[in-house]
Structure 1
Amino acid sequence: MPSWDDVVRIGCALPGVEESTSYRTPALKVRGKCLVRLRTEAEGGLMIVCPLEEKEALLASGDPAFYTTPHYDGYGSILVDLTKIRLDQLTELIEDAWRGKAPKTLVRRHDENSAL
């Protein structure tokens, strides 16, 4: 079962990502843009930004790791139950969030360095 420490380790391995806060809760940001936020609200979970189409597909998959609340209706983010998600799924979602928020030059540089 992944923890917030795993989220930080995964996220901070990506260029430009740093620990921060959002709505007074722990978060990861790239160049000031939120990627991931640990929710402390009653429903808990981890908020990860993603395109609406991806959110809809994750919810339609029936995987119990993914859910939403009315507050997030129409918003490009998915809520994740850390007790139910696999580490590989979490890693992919965090990297996808980073790719969507990081400056394109940073993503391109990362991809070029990874290809070496």
Structure 2
Amino acid sequence: MITLADVRAVATAYPDVVEKAHFRLPGFRVADRLFVHLEKGDAHAIVCVGPEEAAQAAADQPDVYEVVTREHGRIFVGLRVDLAQVTEARMAELIGHAWRHRAPKRLVASYDKR
């Protein structure tokens, strides 16, 4: 099972990431924009990937992923990931996609040039 320590190690490897609580739960931000956080009980994480990627993941593996919305589906939040069922490699990939989705474009471009 993926742990908070695993999520922290991957998330903080990206530039300008700060760990900051989100509703008193562990969360990670870039440019003060939340891109991944754990839910109560640490069994699930929400990654802020794009809506198309989230929909595809949930359609492909509904036992592992779930699209999260609020306001009765009007506002897309992200992708809920079952940390007991996702592989470390896939979780790292999702965290990377979420960071890219939420980071400023100049920061992503600078990161890609290194």
Normalising to structure 1: TM-score of the pair?
Answer: 0.86
Cα deviation for residue 18 of structure 1 reads 1.3
Any idea what SS the aligned residue of 1:47 has? Answer: strand
Give 5+ residue unaligned stretches, structure 2.
Answer: none
Q: What is the distance in 2 between the residues matched to 1:51 and 1:69?
A: 11
What root-mean-square deviation, in Å, do the aligned CA atoms of Structure 1 and Structure 2 show?
Answer: 2.1
What is the CA distance between 1:84 and its match in structure 2?
A: 0.5
Identity %: 27
Which secondary structure does the structure 2 equivalent of 1:21 belong to?
Answer: coil
Q: Which residue of 2 aligns with 1:59?
A: 58
Give the corresponding residue for 1:34: 34
Paired amino acid for 1:51:
G
Secondary structure, counterpart of 1:84 in structure 2: coil
SS in 1 for 2:86: coil
Of Structure 1 and Structure 2, which has the larger fraction of its residues in helix? 1
Q: State how far apart, in whole Å, the 1-side matches of 2:82 and 2:98 are.
A: 17
Partner deviation per Cα, 1:46-105 (whole Å, 9 max, x = no partner): 111111111110111025221246648341400011110001110110010110111111
Q: Could you state the TM-score of these two structures normalised by the residue count of structure 2?
A: 0.88
Whole-angstrom CA distance in 2 between matches of 1:39 and 1:76: 13
Which blocks of at least 5 consecutive residues in structure 1 are unaligned? none
